[in-house]
Amino acid sequence: MLGNVELVDVGLIVAGLVALIWGADRFVHGASATARNMGIAPLLIGLTIVAFATSAPEIVVSIQAAMLGQPGLAFGNAIGSNIVNIGLVLGLTAIVRPIPLESATLRREMPALLAVSLLTVSLFLDTRLSRPDGVVMLTGLAIVMIWFVRLGIRSAANDPIKMDYEAEIPDNVSTKMAIFWLLAGLVALLIGADWLVDGSTHLAKSIGVTDVIIGITIVAFGTSVPELAVSLVSALKGEYGLAIGNIVGSNIFNLLAVIGVAATIHPATVAPSVLSLHIFVMVAFTLVLFAMTYDYDGKALLSRIEGIALLLAYLAYSSYVVALNIPQSS
């Protein structure tokens, strides 16, 4: 049973997550509206600014955790968020409404996600993330951003994801209000990250688990709530490219930006369990998603059955992680 100190930590975590979720929504709204008012094409906004902004909670938490000497929380958050995004978010979304993969732009993004995941594994192999490793990932982030811009410019005018972004990116917000929401969202993200990291690190110490485990479970779930909301709403609107594109872009930025920033600020040794279990599970989910959405017969589709399989796999993994750490918390 949790004591008073642990309850305060849980309260901080919940308050931090609420601030992060609200801040992420306002930050994405403000950033995309500002970019649109500057004349940037909606698809370019979606592929770069929105994809980056939806990972803002993870990135801000990563910076805060690394600066406080808790890089494990940042690494766990990035890996756990990618698992949550595929297993829980896409699983639930496909159950609610099967997702056809009609966008040629999105099909080009899928191999990029796989490549970034394998790059992450290669850097984790020596069980230490150094500052040069962080620089490699941030350089990869710059390369991906440039590639996304070129991808957006070359995309066909009738690509479904292009029309999805055209419909969703706000076009009736004044520049003054857009900048206000951008700054308000950023402030909320910073405050939420401070509360979340503070509560998470204290709770981890109190119940005897590592900050990596807290990052992979509680923090990863909370920072993935914005992606869950976007994907579910997009699928219900029939904006399938946005429903899955939101996840693919977010996962790429989670690895390159979140881990890259954390390793650059605070190099650290990686817990053996991260390499033996959590990274393996993340790559396995990515490979399965790649296989499920591969265009074998001209009808690429993430079906309801596949959504159930992803969700069950996520629940099994989460249950195993929690069960594995119960003895440490008793």
Residue at 188 is within a domain:
no
Least confident stretch, 93-97, 144-148, 321-325: 321-325
The predicted structure's pLDDT at residue 242: 79
d(CA 173, CA 138): 32
pTM of the entire predicted model: 0.85
Ranges 11-15, 110-114, 217-221, 271-275: which has the least confidence: 271-275
Q: Is residue 66 part of a domain?
A: yes
Average pLDDT over residues 125-134: 90
pLDDT given at position 75: 86
Which uninterrupted H or E stretch holds 323? helix 304-329
Return the beta strands (E) in 75-221 as ranges. 99-100, 128-129
User: Helices (H) and strands (E) in the chain — how many of each?
Assistant: 18, 4
User: Tens digit of pLDDT for each residue in 136-190?
Assistant: 999 999 999 888 888 878 776 677 777 777 777 888 889 899 999 989 988 998 8
What would the mean pLDDT of 61-82 be, rounded to a whole number?
Answer: 86
pLDDT at 151: 81
Q: Kindly give, in sequence order, each residue whose CB lies less than 8 Å from that of residue 72, ignoring residues fewer than 6 positions away.
A: 65, 210, 211, 212, 215, 268, 270, 271
Instruction: Tell whether 41 is covered by a domain.
Output: no
Residue 297: pLDDT band by 50, 70, 90 thresholds?
low
Structural domain contains residue 290 = yes
The predicted structure's pLDDT at residue 300: 73
| Residue 330: closest CA among 213, 219, 218, 209 | 209
Q: What is the pLDDT of residue 84?
A: 93
State how far the alpha carbon of 205 is from the alpha carbons of 18, 22, 201, 212, in Å.
23, 28, 6, 12
User: What pLDDT is attached to residue 328?
Assistant: 47
Q: Can you give the CATH number for the domain in which 78 is found?
A: 1.20.1420.30
Residue 46 resides in a domain: no
Averaged pLDDT for residues 268-287: 87
Split at pLDDT 50, 70, 90, the class of 329 is: very low
13-31 average pLDDT score? 86
Domain range spanning residue 252? 55-165+206-329
**So what's the pLDDT on residue 190?**
86
Task: State the DSSP code for 174.
Answer: -
Q: Quick one: pLDDT at residue 63?
A: 86
**Is there a domain that residue 269 lies in?**
yes
Q: 70-84, 149-163, 261-275, 305-319: which has the highest mean pLDDT?
A: 305-319
Place of tokens 């962080």: 134
Q: Which residue has the higher pLDDT, 110 or 315?
A: 315
pLDDT over 70 (residue 296): no
- Calculate the CA 117 to chain-centre distance: 13
pLDDT of the residue at 330: 42
Q: What is the pLDDT of residue 161?
A: 77
Task: Output the average pLDDT for the chain.
Answer: 84
Of the given ranges (20-34, 300-314, 315-329), which has the lowest mean pLDDT?
Answer: 315-329
User: Based on the structure, what is the number of domains in the chain?
Assistant: 1
Check pLDDT > 60 for residue 114: yes
| 153 within 8 A of 44, measured Cβ to Cβ | yes
Give 293's pLDDT tier (boundaries 50, 70, 90). Answer: confident
Task: Confirm whether 90 is domain-assigned.
Answer: yes
| pLDDT for residue 299 | 66
Is 37 among the domain residues? no
In the predicted structure, residue 3 carries a pLDDT above the cut 80: no
Contact 10, 164 (CB under 8 A): no
Average pLDDT rounded to a whole number, residues 96-110? 82
pLDDT digits (tens, 9 = 90+) for 56-67: 888 888 888 888
Q: What is the C-alpha separation between 129 and 127, in angstroms, rounded?
A: 7
Half-sphere exposure for 46 (CA within 13 Å, toward CB): 30
